[in-house]
């Protein structure tokens, strides 16, 4: 009498529901991925500043004072001289750069080479590393280390 009909595919409604579910899941994953990328860039900035801090300390051990801004950024010169900078003297292989190139690392020599401060801007202004860095105004130049702006600073 009645023939049962076998289904050969999906209805339009079923396909639309599946596409909507996939869209929602992918937006959740992408939001999480952006957060992970931000954390990764901040971790690289903190690591870079620690490497630069170590290089500045090695420079101090050899020359008795920290590099000025020109010596800090110098990448060549006669090895064994202050003018060769951090890279030319082998204290660091190359100067690191900000992962997003949004802001450069700021270096300032303080007290005629007796001190310095290096600063990076973190994307997450509530990062836990900001609790253990240098805070407030440092030196006489443009280096401000206030945590509210997401500045992460290191000093000797």
Question: For position 23, what pLDDT does the model report?
Answer: 95
Who contacts 86 (Cβ-Cβ below 8 Å, separation ≥6)?
52, 55, 56, 59, 67, 71, 72, 74, 92, 95
Q: Which two tokens stand for residue 137?
A: 């105004």
Match 């500043």 to its residue by tokens.
Answer: 49
**Domains parsed from the chain with CATH numbers:** 13-154 (3.30.700)
Assign residue 101 a region (left: φ > 0; alpha: ψ between -120 and 50; beta: otherwise).
left
Residues 54-103: pLDDT tens digits?
999 999 999 999 999 888 888 888 888 888 999 988 999 998 988 887 66
Does residue 118 contact residue 154 with C-beta atoms inside 8 Å? Answer: yes
Sign of CA dihedral 119, 123, 124, 127: negative
Does residue 71 contact residue 83 with C-beta atoms inside 8 Å? Answer: yes
Compute the average pLDDT of residues 96-117: 83
Assign residue 123 a region (left: φ > 0; alpha: ψ between -120 and 50; beta: otherwise).
alpha
Question: For position 25, what pLDDT does the model report?
Answer: 94
Q: Which two tokens stand for residue 60?
A: 């101090």
pLDDT greater than 80 at residue 107: yes
Does residue 67 contact residue 61 with C-beta atoms inside 8 Å? Answer: no
More confident residue, 134 or 43: 43
């Amino acid at each position: 009498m009645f023939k049962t009909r076998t289904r050969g595919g999906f209805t339009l409604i079923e396909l639309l529901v599946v596409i909507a579910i996939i869209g929602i899941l992918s937006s959740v994953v992408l939001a999480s991925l952006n957060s992970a990328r931000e954390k990764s860039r901040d971790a690289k900035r903190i690591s870079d500043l620690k490497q630069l801090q170590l290089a500045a300390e090695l420079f101090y051990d050899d020359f008795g004072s920290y590099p000025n801004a020109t010596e800090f950024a110098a990448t060549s010169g006669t090895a064994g001289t202050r003018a060769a900078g951090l890279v030319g003297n082998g204290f660091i292989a190359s100067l690191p750069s900000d992962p997003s190139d949004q802001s450069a690392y700021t270096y300032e020599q303080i007290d005629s080479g007796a001190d310095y401060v290096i600063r990076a801007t973190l994307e997450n202004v509530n990062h836990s590393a900001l609790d253990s860095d240098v805070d407030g105004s440092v030196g006489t130049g443009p280096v401000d280390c206030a945590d509210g702006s997401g500045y992460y600073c290191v000093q000797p």
